Structures are given as C-alpha cells and as structure tokens.
Homo-oligomer: A and B are copies of this chain.
Amino acid sequence: MVDDDQNAILFGGDYNPEQWPEDTWQGDIDKLKQANINVATINVFSWALLEPRENVFNFEQLDRIIALLVRNKIKIILATSTAAIPAWIIQKYPGIARVDVNGIRQKQGKRHNACPNSPDFKRLARGLVKRLVERYKDCPELTYWHVSNEYEGYCYCDNCAVAFREWLQQKYGTLERLNLDWNSNIWSHTYHEWSEIEPPMMTTDLFDNGKPVLSGAAIDYQRFQSDSLLNDFKLERDVIKQFDQQHPVTTNLMGSQKALDYFKWAPEMDIISWDSYPMPDDSAAETAMEHDLMRGLKQQPFLLMEETPNQQNWYPYNALKKPGEMRMLSYQAIAHGANNIAFFQLKQSRSGAEKFHGSVLTHSDSVHTRTFKEVQQLGKEVTKLPMTLNQANVQANVAVIFDWDSYWGLENSIGPLAKLSYVKEVQRFYQMLYGHGLTVDLVAKDADLMKYQLVVAPVLYMMNPQAITNITRYVEQGGTFLTTYMSGIADQTDNIYIGGYPGPLREILGLHIDEHDARSAKQSVRILAMNQSEVGTADGVCDLIIPDTATTLAHYSNDVFYNNYATITRNHYGRGTAYYCGAELSESGLNYLMEKLANTAGLKLGTSPKVEVTTRATAEEKFIFIINTDNREQTIMNPVPLATSLLTGKESATKLVLGPYAVEILHQIL
C-alpha cells in the first residue's frame, strides 16, 4: 500500500474515469492503491465534456473525479484538455481544424488537431484553461499542470500562411534579405511581395519525397510551426500562471521527434516531462539517449510522464515486455534523470485506438495479472526511494550535441543520400559512448561545453556564429572534440559554406573535403588503420578527407578508388584535440575510434556493454545505478564496493552478479 507520506516519489499514470461508470471508480482506486499508485494524470481529453457548447461549462463530473482522488490521497497532475478539439467546435469553426501537407482541410477526429495559429482555438483554449485554473488551483492534491498533450504535427492553412509571412517579416525585415538568405533566385522563386510566399507543402515547393526546393524556406517553416505550437503552450501556461504561481507547469514531450525544437521549448517549461515508448527491438542505448536528450533540455531531472507497463499498441508487433523488463526500463529512466514513474495508463480502455495498450489494470480487471504484480512490486520499491534523489543530477563527463536545425537541414537535403536519418546517425555515436560505459549529456550546440572531457557532434550539419565560437573555444581551451561527415556544411539559412567542407570547422579539424561518396549497405568498404589492419567497415556517406594539419588515423581500403584518403583524423588545435570521422562506421570501427578518443580525453572505459552504470549526485550524496539491460545474467566489478544497496539495505559486494534485467542502486554519502 502507498505510504501516506506526501514525500514519496511519484508513482502513477494516466487515469480516465470518464470512460467508465461512476460506480466502478472507487473499486479501481482501491486496486490502484494496492499497486502503490500515488498520483494520477487526469483530464487529458475532456474538453467535449467540460464545455458541451460555447461558454457553457460543466465541471460536475471532473469535480467528482477530483474529489475521489483527494479522498483517496492520490496526487493529481491536471491536464488542460486542449489536445483534442470537440466536434461542436470544429463544426462551428471549421478553420480551427488543420490543413494537411497536401492542402486538405481536416474535420473532427483523431487528436492533436488544432491549427496552432487559429484565433478561435486560442480564444476557446484560453477560456477553458482560465476556468480550470480558477476552479482547481487550490485543490490539495494538485501537483503539476499538464498543458495539452504530446504537441506534434504542422498545419498548412491560410491562417498559418499569413502568420508565417509575419514571422518572416520579423526575422528578415526586407524581402531583399529574405531572397538573399533563401537564395531564392533558384528556379525563379524570387519573391516581390510578402503575400507571394506560401508554406512549403506538396502543392507548392515539396517534392514527392517531402523534400523542398528552397531549403531556407523549408527550415523556416519548421521553425515557425515549432514556434507556433510553443506559443500555444505559452498561452495556456500564462493563463495558469496568472491565477496559480504555485504549481509547476509542464507538457509531455516526445524525445527526439522531429517537428519541435525542444531546446526552444525547455526554457518556457517549469519542468520537462516526456513519454518513453521504446520499440520492442530498440537497444538500451537508444532508450538511454532519449532520456539524456530530455534531461539535456534543461540539464535537470525530469518527469517520466508515460511509459507502458507491458506491451505497446502502435508498433507493427507489440511484443510483451519480459519479466523484469518494465522494472529495468523504469530504473533506467530514473538513473537518467526521471524523478518519478508514470504509466499510460492506469486502467485499460474498453475501446478506442489504444484499447490494446498495456495498463496497470488490464481488461482482466485483476490484481493477479503479471503486469499488476510487477507494477505493484516496482511501486513498493520506488516509493521508498529517498526524496533527496530528486535533487541529484546525472554526472556526465561526455556531451553529445543534438541540434534540431541540423535534424531539419540534413533531412531536407536531397543529396548525397536522401534517406540519411539524423537521429540514427546521432544514435550511432551515442551507442559508441554508451557501449563503453560513458555517461552522456545531450546538449545544444550553444551549450556550455567546458565541463566535458569529450564533446561529440555527429552530423552537425548546420552551424551558426555562436556554435562556431563555442566549439572553437572548447577545443582551443583544451577540449577533446569529435565531429563527423555532414557536419559544418551549412549556415543557419541552409546556405553551404564555400571553401571545402566542413566550412567553419576546417581550421580546428585541420582538414578539408571536396567530395563525399554515398554508398548503399551492399557497397560497404573496409577501413584500415595506418598499419593496414582492418578496423571496421563503412557505408553511406564517405568523405574523401584531405588532411591539412591533421594526422590520419585510418583510411579507406582499396575497395574504393579513394583508398588514399583519410577516414579518421586527429588534429591538435590550441590546447585541445579535434577528431574527425568521415564515414558511417561499423561497430568495430567505432570501437577503434572510441579508444583513440578515450586516450586523448583521459576517459576510463567500461567493460560490460550490457550493464549500465549511471550516477546521480548532489553535493552530499551519490546514487549509483547499476542496471543489467540484458535478459541474461551479467557480472561486473562493483565500481563502489561496500556502498549500501538502496533496494536491499545491505552492503554491496566487490563483484556484482546481476540476473536478467537486474538493478542495483548503491548509495554513497559524500
């Protein structure tokens, strides 16, 4: 049973009692309390119930839901319900529905469907949120405000076109400047009036593969839509803050999704929260990277707003989580910065798109299911964790730069390899670090890098003056830096730097590149160290590096005509060292590179790629999470022998034998 202690770590999830007969509510709560649930996220999609017609509000059911939770001492994360527009609103104001990238106006249905620039949406959302805040701000169990839900997707309507032109006028001032920065003399795109500019979409400037002619226009539209949705978030947040300065405001983000530049969102949010849904075959590194990105947004702990206690619903094959796997993933989240655990959802829906999505209470409605018991056990553990953990931040000595501008710019490019995926390439290098036991911060390109022993910037396609200065200074002052193919290519309006890739990074890297090949996986090429031993293979983009001051560490084999060109180089610059990796390396090639980097940066590498060791610390104490991410037993040397186990209360041994998905949390007082 949940401890009544108000200071227990939050353990809960989404709860939608409005889908169920009211006489079942208390029974559900009784069961959920057995599972140690102490918080519920409610009211995520209730606008149609709360406001059945314009300016007519009905909070009676919500009052009863909140009273139920209060009565049962369940904390509340209260959502604003604006993430799906009621049918009556769309019928009354059809322009509130989005126009899709094909130019087709949507009608009522699905969710996340409001045009972000609709004045009707803004007015109606403001009205609803105002009433919600006024009514519930003093609720004793209220813990967080949860604005909307999983902001995503773009709109291409005429409202958005008008707002885009205003956004562009703000940014460029004159059409002359815009034409210059967009290089719009290409294909007769020159604009003579602001009104001539249309959103880049399938009926205008996007090809069948979704890529644009004018990449400057395309990335500006991405920035504009990200800003537009952020404005909607800020609108709701500001209404909340007007009446309630006490409870923090968040919205649940979605990891490395493409549409929104979360680094611009983070400063506007009191706390980051996000929904973690690894695919069944995702590696532990892929999940870890997403957590690190979400933590990196504010470089602070975050809320895990959603995970599934068992199988997902939306994947081609929604495999069951294995015994212990959900627990392992939950602790992995905490190790990487989560200050809570929350599930989507607490009670499984009887119908609707997500009816087969895992839940704490399943269609069996039983407390004897495997899922329920695993949740219950986890709840028992995590609600006992010390609250000081919440102040402890993750200790990383390596940074990976993640950059939505590069994400967009790279994936807007048609050549040299249309299917190049930004996130997959970042994952490649994150995996290299994670697989060697390093703890990583994902940071923006203008973040403070000085505290890191190593900074890795994969496919950092798009630069700007601040980033150039920031990275250059980091190396100058002694940092160890790695960047890769397709980095330093374009400026912030996606105009390519002239003078040889990678433009503004040439000097610190001590090299230049005139050509990059693009090879399919079937055409992989062997990569050789200077002693001609093979260190791995590569495919995809392969740079033909010409070292200026850099030293060649590996080169292509005679599988290709450019076998004399370098694949990996190292350059001393200022007091630091800049590495360059010119090809999409296989795992063994990455291992070779990792050893070089570790030597330069003075990093100690781990020994088990399957066991993650991550430390969260405050000035006073350390929490060392040791997680076997694998379904087979693993043994490692204890990095902090004799430290107390938080889960067993006992002293830990010198050697740790970890069963499948086993977790150990060791505690050190400093």
Q: A49-B185, A188-B47 are in contact. Are A517 and B353 (CB under 8 A)?
A: no
Interface members, chain A 304-358 (any B CB < 8 Å): 310-314, 316-320, 322-323, 349-357
**What is the CA–CA distance of A30 and B53 in the complex, to the nearest angstrom?**
72
Instruction: Name the residue of chain B whose CB is nearest to the CB of A190.
Output: B48
A571 at the interface (CB under 8 A from B): no
> Looking at the complex, which of A258-266, A288-296, A366-374, A389-397 is the stretch in contact with chain B?
A366-374
Shortest CB-to-CB span from A648 to chain B, Å, is 24
Contact of A185 among B46, B183, B185 (CB under 8 A): B46
The number of times this chain is found in the oligomer is: 3
**What is the CA–CA distance of A91 and B48 in the complex, to the nearest angstrom?**
39
A215 at the interface (CB under 8 A from B): yes
Q: Is the CB of A205 within 8 A of B110?
A: yes
**What is the CA–CA distance of A477 and B603 in the complex, to the nearest angstrom?**
75
Q: Is the CB of A186 within 8 A of B496?
A: no
Q: Is the CB of B108 within 8 A of A198?
A: yes
Shortest CB-to-CB span from A47 to chain B, Å, is 5
**What is the CA–CA distance of A94 and B84 in the complex, to the nearest angstrom?**
34
Q: Is the CB of B314 within 8 A of A415?
A: yes
Instruction: Name the residue of chain B whose CB is nearest to the CB of A500.
Output: B364
Q: Is the CB of B355 within 8 A of A107?
A: no
Q: Is the CB of B188 within 8 A of A351?
A: no
Chain A 403-431 interface 0/1 with B at a Cβ cutoff of 8 Å (1 = within): 00000000001111111000000000000
A578 at the interface (CB under 8 A from B): no
Q: Is the CB of A203 within 8 A of B109?
A: yes
**What is the CA–CA distance of A16 and B187 in the complex, to the nearest angstrom?**
10
Shortest CB-to-CB span from A321 to chain B, Å, is 10
Q: Is the CB of A188 within 8 A of B322?
A: no
Q: Is the CB of B195 within 8 A of A91?
A: yes
> Looking at the complex, which of A97-105, A129-137, A245-253, A439-447 is the stretch in contact with chain B?
A97-105
Interface centre among A85, A353, A413, A520 (most CB of B within 10 A): A353
Instruction: Name the residue of chain B whose CB is nearest to the CB of A497.
Output: B363
Q: Which residues of B contact A369 (CB under 8 A)?
A: 514-515
**What is the CA–CA distance of A501 and B365 in the complex, to the nearest angstrom?**
11
**What is the CA–CA distance of A110 and B203 in the complex, to the nearest angstrom?**
9
Q: Is the CB of B206 within 8 A of A109?
A: yes
Q: Is the CB of A356 within 8 A of B197?
A: no
Q: Which residues of B contact A103 (CB under 8 A)?
A: 104
Contact of A318 among B186, B314, B518 (CB under 8 A): B518
Q: Which residues of B contact A418 (CB under 8 A)?
A: 316
Chain A 28-53 interface 0/1 with B at a Cβ cutoff of 8 Å (1 = within): 00000000000000000111110011
A213 at the interface (CB under 8 A from B): yes
Q: Is the CB of A183 within 8 A of B111?
A: no
Q: A87-B197, A416-B318 are in contact. Are A366 and B185 (CB under 8 A)?
A: no
Q: Is the CB of B186 within 8 A of A414?
A: no
**What is the CA–CA distance of A310 and B520 in the complex, to the nearest angstrom?**
17
Instruction: Name the residue of chain B whose CB is nearest to the CB of A102.
Output: B104
A476 at the interface (CB under 8 A from B): no
A159 at the interface (CB under 8 A from B): no
A123 at the interface (CB under 8 A from B): no
Q: Which residues of B contact A417 (CB under 8 A)?
A: 316-318
A384 at the interface (CB under 8 A from B): no
Q: Which residues of B contact A380 (CB under 8 A)?
A: none
Shortest CB-to-CB span from A155 to chain B, Å, is 14
Q: Which residues of B contact A415 (CB under 8 A)?
A: 311-314, 318, 354-357
Q: Is the CB of B84 within 8 A of A188?
A: yes
Q: Which residues of B contact A182 (CB under 8 A)?
A: 351
Interface centre among A102, A187, A369 (most CB of B within 10 A): A187
Q: Which residues of B contact A516 (CB under 8 A)?
A: 320
A214 at the interface (CB under 8 A from B): yes
A59 at the interface (CB under 8 A from B): no
Q: A205-B109, A353-B414 are in contact. Are A514 and B311 (CB under 8 A)?
A: no
A12 at the interface (CB under 8 A from B): no
**What is the CA–CA distance of A311 and B515 in the complex, to the nearest angstrom?**
9
Q: Which residues of B contact A83 (CB under 8 A)?
A: 188
**What is the CA–CA distance of A83 and B353 in the complex, to the nearest angstrom?**
35
Q: Is the CB of A87 within 8 A of B317?
A: no
A189 at the interface (CB under 8 A from B): yes
Q: Is the CB of A215 within 8 A of B109?
A: no
Q: What 10 A-B pairs have minimum CB-CB distances, sorted nearest first?
A: A356-B415, A109-B205, A109-B204, A87-B196, A186-B352, A313-B415, A48-B190, A84-B188, A369-B514, A364-B500
Extra pairs beyond A110-B213, A318-B417, A363-B499 (6, CB < 8 Å): A87-B196, A213-B353, A353-B414, A363-B501, A365-B499, A365-B500
| 23 A-B residue pairs with CB within 8 Å | A16-B186, A18-B185, A48-B189, A49-B190, A102-B104, A104-B203, A107-B198, A109-B205, A110-B187, A111-B188, A215-B352, A311-B518, A319-B519, A320-B517, A351-B496, A353-B414, A356-B413, A356-B416, A362-B514, A363-B500, A364-B512, A364-B514, A366-B499
